[in-house]
Amino acid sequence: METTKEFDIGSYMTAGVERVVKDAVRATLKDPAESIFMAKFAMATKKAAGTRKKYKAEGINVPPFLIASITSSCNLHCAGCYSRQNEATKDCAPENQLSDEEWLKIFEEANDIGISFILLAGGEPLLRKGVIKAAGNMPDILFPIFTNGVFISDEYFNMFEKNRNLVPIMSIEGHKESTDSRRGEGIYDRLINNMQKFHDKNLIFGDSVTVTTENYDDVLSDDFINMLRGYGCKAVIYVEYVPVSDESKDLALSEEKEEGLRARINELREAYPDVVFISFPGDEKSSGGCVAAGRGFFHINSHGGAEPCPFSPFSDTSVLESGLKGAISSRLFKALQDGDILKDDHVGGCVLFEKRDQVQAILQS
């Protein structure tokens, strides 16, 4: 009788990290300083993978990724923003957010337990200059910084040049009309100006694109990709839109379009080897379901709460009290990992958002 081999999410995610690093090294070959950094970082990721393997043998599944929302404050009001919809982002940040020193402690523990990537998000992360500086002091961790680009200044350009592990990822929604209609008038021109400066200073940057039914064809077009490449973009991260209300469900990709997105990304990887293309959440079917809740990553909110995902703002653990290892083993994460929710079918980019009532029920049980 033929047996089905059990899917190993840890090996899958580790291989994904190694592929991203390999692609990044290839994408920066024309930039000696960046190539030297990426080569050193490639060695660091191998060491981190070994550290995670040791913890796994002890029964602790350390993911290679973290997402850290280092602030709840944002200067923009983007249409359909999931973070404002669930009130995780506001105009003014509350006083009880983690301090620069507390974030540094989290980064240090992440480095100790083998985490290779920490995606800095918000709100608008560049509002927390002290946290960005702390991240720059952790060269064995790569920090993609998901920013709207408004606060990128000469000081930040100098910081990015000095600390190559800080990689700004600017949010853009396609060409001018699509970007300004979602993010505000004048934002597209500001992003283009930023990209030109990155190009002139020979600094690496990437772009993040929220893919909807409205901009699908535009952001996957050769014209759009060649525009970004012309400014020196080295990474394009496609984020499938998560419907934040019943009124916005028509913006979420159908299963057919999701499959088309994955196929197109494979084409882009072949056609443009000088750019790294990443899809989030990507092909959940090949990863045995959603990789949130510690299977491949988890989210830390601006107050220190350990959440399954930014789209699933529920927590039963604070990393300030339990540390990262304690958060990984939280009751909520264990219940999600052992149950079927992460493998359920769903509409749009996030199963945990659609099944949020079930997630909340676990907390209340």
Smallest CA-to-CA distance from 312 within 283, 346, 286 is with: 346
Q: To which CATH superfamily is domain 9-364 assigned?
A: Aldolase class I (3.20.20.70)
What mean pLDDT comes out for the span 92-99?
78
Which of 79-93, 121-135, 182-196 is the least confident region?
79-93
Tell me, what's the pLDDT at 228? 97
What mean pLDDT comes out for the span 217-242?
93
For residues 341 and 318, the answer to whether their CB atoms sit within 8 Å is no
Tell me, what's the pLDDT at 3? 43
Exposure string for 293-324, b = 16+ CB within 10 A, e = fewer: bbbbbbbbbbbbbbbbbbbbbbbbbbbbebbb
In the chain, what percentage of residues exceed pLDDT 70? Answer: 84
Please, what is the average pLDDT of the chain? 85
Tell me, what's the pLDDT at 87? 60
Helix (H) or strand (E) holding 147: strand 143-147
pLDDT grade, residue 86 (50/70/90)?
low
More confident residue, 183 or 170: 170
Give how far Cα 171 sits from Cα of 37, 206, 334, Å: 24, 9, 33
pLDDT grade, residue 301 (50/70/90)?
very high
For residues 206 and 167, the answer to whether their CB atoms sit within 8 Å is yes
Q: Domain spans of the chain?
A: 9-364
What mean pLDDT comes out for the span 1-18?
51
Strand extents, DSSP E, 219-358: 235-240, 276-280, 299-300, 306-307
For residues 234 and 240, the answer to whether their CB atoms sit within 8 Å is no
Smallest CA-to-CA distance from 182 within 194, 169, 171 is with: 171
More confident residue, 13 or 178: 178
Quote the pTM value: 0.88
Tell me, what's the pLDDT at 1? 40
Amino acid symbol at 356: R
For residues 215 and 178, the answer to whether their CB atoms sit within 8 Å is yes
Tell me, what's the pLDDT at 77? 66
**Is 185 exposed, middle or buried, given 0-12, 13-18 or 19+ CB atoms closer than 10 A?**
exposed
Tell me, what's the pLDDT at 88? 63
